[in-house]
Structure 1
Amino acid sequence: MRIAQVAPLYECVPPFAYGATERVVSYLTEELVRRGHDVTLFATADSSTAARLVPICERGLWRDTAVWDTLTHHVRQLARVADLANEFDVVHFHGDPLHFPLARSLPCKSLTTLHGQLLPVDHGPLFREFPSAPLVSISDDQRKPVPSANWQATIYHGLPLDEFEFQPNPASYLLFLGRFMPGKRPDLAVEIARRAGLPLKMAGKIHPGEREYFAQQIEPLLACSRDFTDYLGEVGGELRRQLIANARALLFPVEWAEPFGMVMIEAMACGTPVIAFGRGAVPEVLTHGMNGFIVDNIEQAVSAVARIGEIDRAQCRRSFEQRFTAERMAADYLRVYEQLLAGTRAALPAPHTGADAQLFG
């Protein structure tokens, strides 16, 4: 099959550090190539892939201090896709839905995976304007604001089996890893670690629009908790892998409708249990008592830290292998591609979730 993957241009593929969407695009692209498909990746020039690379800009736009208007580069990217569209059976878009008008006139099939939070006031009118645009959600919960859209499937993210190393003997620290934004509540991670009496390592991206939040809310908190909190900034590569693998537990105290939560399956791949608030996709990704604990508040999270030894890290790793591999993800997407080409809706197996597990109590 001739497949185009169209990545956002904010980071290279795969990203150096932060960039869950670009990371997923990389894992999917490489697995499709491994399976023998003819894959073209539209991405930044500093991306690394076994596929044919069509470079759009020199580097990730968030890494280029000369770039002000990121929209202009994505418009150029769509023009390149249109120019080459006759070469593909399917074009798979992963960025903002700028391509919807273009996709109507492409000489091939198209598919869009939505990676962010959906809002009825914004996405409802958009999907009503483009009711035939085939969409994939990354969790069932992500669909809830716009359930009537043209959903083809829910496909959970996946990682290569060898991307993260299983660590049966972790260190004693807790970990917060992710974007420093209000909805991810890094401040609650500090409070949970303080009450649990364990050191906390924190690492993640600070987006330009969230620098004021970090300066006003997080930096003072870090300053007064230096005795147990270690802030590492944004990390990537082997340092990031080791940081996740050696953590006693990953703290994920989200208070927004998290569409998926890539770091949770990265932790599971290492055997590192996750303690997460049961918002958004968390109950779909985690199985309570098997690969972590789903909690409702700080008090339950602190209790979960005390019980983290009840989680079998080997079983935690196995739960990743059973549900969240890149091989499974690619197979699911191929099924959707094939059904689009056949003119029918994909019939994927119902995803197993931890939603039926009893919450922490």
Structure 2
Amino acid sequence: MKIAQIAPLAESVPPKYYGGTERIVSYLTEELVSQGHDVTLFASGDSRTAAELVPITPAALRLTPGIVDPIPYHMMLLEAVRQRADEFDALHFHIDLLHLPMAQNFIGRTVTTLHGRLDLPDLPPFYRCFGDHCLVSISDHQRKPMPPVNWGGTIYHGLPADLLPPRHGDNESYLAFLGRISPEKRPDRAIRIAARAGKELRIAAKVDNVDRAYWETEIAPLIDRYPNIHFVGEINEQQKAEFLGNASALLFPIDWPEPFGLVMIEAMACGTPVIAFRCGSVPEVIEHGRSGFIVDTEDEAVAAIEQLSHLDRRRVRSAFDARFTAARMAADYTALYHGLPGARTDAAWLRRQRGEEAELQIVA
């Protein structure tokens, strides 16, 4: 198939540091290429891909000085997609909602994966207005606040199987917290849990400007209070394997309707169990007693730390292999692309316009 992947411009694909959506776009794009599809990636110019890259901006917006408003650049992105829309059998958007009015002209060939939280009050009327677009959720829980819409399916994220090698030895090392310093991620819980358990906690996280006050008033003082808490800062992909692989467990003490939680499957790929609070997608991702423990309170999290020796890190990795590889993710999306009404009805004339055979070729 000829497939367009349309990424946000805040980060490169893949991102240099933090950036869950762009990372998933990268994993999906590269896997589709490896499976023989003709893929075009619309993204920032510093992206790296085996697909054809259409650079919209020279570099990711977050790392470009002087960028104030991202909207004009995303309008440029949509115009670039519009101009080439007839080239593709399927167009896969990862930019939330900006494109839906423009995509009406080729709605039968579009898929939109919703990567963020959907419990915001302004979203239901919008999605009711555009109820015919094919939407993909990244967990079943993510769908709950939405009005009736055209769900194409729930497709869980996946990682390349060889991205994060598992470490199977017994590990009585530190606890890990990885991601972003923000109130909903609850690093304060992670700090208290580690302190009560008498364990070292290493925090590898970025601090966005919007969360700077929370960091300065709530989290930094807690880190200063406990000698066993160490702030590592933002880490890159190469550092992630060692950071997660050497940890005895990942703490995921969230307090919000997490749509998926990529860091959970990153830890699982390393063979590192996850201690996660029962919020959002957590019960869909973590198998209690196999890939980690699902808890409801800090007391339960402290108790779970004492039970880590009962978990086999090989079984943690096998839980990842069974459900969360990029190959499985790409296969799920490819099946969805082939099922799009426009991928069949428009295939013949699209391919005639491109001077190709009219029949849509299916690549396994």
TM-score interval (norm. to shorter): over 0.9
Write out per-residue CA displacement over residues 110-130 of structure 1, whole angstroms, 9 at most, x where no aligned residue: 110000000252211011110
Q: Which residue of the partner structure matches residue 195 of structure 1? A: 196
Query: Displacement of 1:107 after TM fit?
Result: 7.6
Query: Displacement of 1:147 after TM fit?
Result: 4.8
Write out per-residue CA displacement over residues 64-117 of structure 1, whole angstroms, 9 at most, x where no aligned residue: 122111111111100100011111111100012100000101386111000000
Query: Displacement of 1:40 after TM fit?
Result: 0.2
* Structure 2: distance between partners of 1:125 and 1:131: 10
Q: Which residue of the partner structure matches residue 67 of structure 2? A: 67
Write out per-residue CA displacement over residues 47-75 of structure 1, whole angstroms, 9 at most, x where no aligned residue: 00000000011111111122111111111
Query: Displacement of 1:341 after TM fit?
Result: 3.7
Query: Displacement of 1:237 after TM fit?
Result: 2.4
Instruction: Compare 214-223 and 290-299 and name the one that shifted more.
Output: 214-223
**Normalised by the size of structure 2, how large is the TM-score?**
0.92
Write out per-residue CA displacement over residues 174-202 of structure 1, whole angstroms, 9 at most, x where no aligned residue: 00001111011001000000011110000
* Structure 1: distance between partners of 2:28 and 2:271: 23
Instruction: Compare 102-111 and 13-22 and name the one that shifted more.
Output: 102-111
* Structure 2: distance between partners of 1:201 and 1:18: 17
Q: Which residue of the partner structure matches residue 335 of structure 2? A: 335
Tell whether the 8 Å contact from 1:92 to 1:110 is kept in structure 2 after alignment.
Answer: yes
* Structure 2: distance between partners of 1:106 and 1:289: 46
- Corresponding pairs, count: 343
Instruction: Compare 212-221 and 17-26 and name the one that shifted more.
Output: 212-221
Tell whether the 8 Å contact from 1:86 to 1:108 is kept in structure 2 after alignment.
Answer: no
* Structure 2: distance between partners of 1:107 and 1:251: 41
SS state of the match for residue 81, structure 1?
helix
- Which stretches in structure 1 are left out of the alignment for 5+ residues? 345-361
- Which stretches in structure 2 are left out of the alignment for 5+ residues? 345-364
Are 1:279 and 2:279 an aligned pair?
yes
Q: Which residue of the partner structure matches residue 93 of structure 1? A: 93
Instruction: Compare 284-293 and 66-75 and name the one that shifted more.
Output: 66-75
Are 1:174 and 2:189 an aligned pair?
no
CA RMSD of aligned residues (A): 1.3
Q: Pairwise mapping of residues 1-361 of structure 1 onto structure 2 (< 5 A)?
A: 1-106=1-106, 109-119=109-119, 121-169=121-169, 170=171, 172-225=173-226, 227-341=227-341
Tell whether the 8 Å contact from 1:264 to 1:274 is kept in structure 2 after alignment.
Answer: yes
Tell whether the 8 Å contact from 1:91 to 1:108 is kept in structure 2 after alignment.
Answer: no
Give the residue type in structure 2 aligned to 1:46.
D
**Normalised by the size of structure 1, how large is the TM-score?**
0.93
Percent sequence identity over aligned pairs: 51
Q: Whose radius of gyration is greater, 1 or 2?
A: 2
Tell whether the 8 Å contact from 2:96 to 2:113 is kept in structure 1 after alignment.
Answer: no
Give the residue type in structure 2 aligned to 1:291.
S
* Structure 2: distance between partners of 1:215 and 1:269: 33
